[in-house]
């Protein structure tokens, strides 16, 4: 009698876990770099010590480099988030995910618009730039959701056509 080669254990989806882990790692890198930039800028604002040697000022280079690492981390996180959503929609056979995905995308877009309004009402450069950063991040996440929303809508349409 032939034996079954089927694995009795359910297969776990490593792609979703891997993309989720990479997305979280990219956002954690961005957050850590941003915190280091803030700490470095606070240290640079301390009183200057008077010495007889000319100061070596690595502040602009280090601060810019750390800010670029933070921006790269956010960019990678947003792209990985979009890929993660596409994989989840592609592997999901439940139609209940579509309203949640569309609702989340609309919520991200609306909060991005609200952050833009708040940014335009700020009177300081720091306040305006921080709210603009939130606006850009939320708009990026909403945009990253669009391929998954389109895939979900396409799948729902094909399922209805059958």
* 12-52 pLDDT, tens digit each: 578 889 999 999 999 999 999 989 888 887 776 666 666 66
Across residues 64-90, what is the average pLDDT?
Answer: 91
Q: Note the pLDDT of residue 48.
A: 60
Looking at the structure of the chain, the number of domains it has is 1
Please indicate, yes or no, if residue 2 is contained in any of the structural domains: no
Please indicate, yes or no, if residue 66 is contained in any of the structural domains: yes
Give the closest residue to 108 by CA, choosing from 139, 77, 136. Answer: 139
Share above pLDDT 70 across residues of the chain, in percent, rounded to a whole number: 84
Separation of alpha carbons 109 and 107, rounded Å: 5
* The token pair that represents 17 in the structure block: 């876990």
Please indicate, yes or no, if residue 52 is contained in any of the structural domains: no
> Domain containing 136: what range?
15-46+57-161
Q: Note the pLDDT of residue 83.
A: 94
Q: Are residues 134 and 115 in contact, defined by beta-carbon separation less than 8 angstroms? A: yes
Q: What is the pLDDT of residues 97-109, one digit of tens each?
A: 888 889 999 999 9
Please indicate, yes or no, if residue 113 is contained in any of the structural domains: yes
Please indicate, yes or no, if residue 99 is contained in any of the structural domains: yes
Q: Note the pLDDT of residue 148.
A: 92
Across residues 82-87, what is the average pLDDT?
Answer: 93
């Amino acid at each position: 009698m032939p034996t079954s080669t089927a694995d009795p254990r359910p297969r776990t989806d490593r792609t979703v876990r891997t993309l989720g882990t990479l997305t979280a790692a990219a956002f954690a890198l961005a957050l850590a770099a941003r915190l280091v930039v803030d700490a470095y800028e606070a240290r640079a604002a301390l009183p200057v010590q008077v010495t007889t040697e000319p100061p070596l000022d690595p502040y602009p280079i280090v601060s810019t480099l750390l800010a670029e690492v933070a921006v790269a981390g956010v960019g990678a996180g947003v792209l990985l988030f979009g890929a993660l959503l596409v994989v989840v929609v592609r592997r999901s056979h439940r139609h209940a995910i579509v309203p949640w995905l569309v609702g989340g995308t609309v919520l991200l877009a609306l909060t991005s618009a609200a952050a833009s309004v708040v940014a335009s009402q700020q009177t300081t450069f720091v306040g305006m730039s921080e709210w603009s950063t939130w606006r850009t991040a939320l708009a990026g996440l909403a945009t990253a959701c669009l391929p998954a929303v389109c895939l979900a809508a396409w799948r729902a349409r094909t399922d209805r056509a059958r």
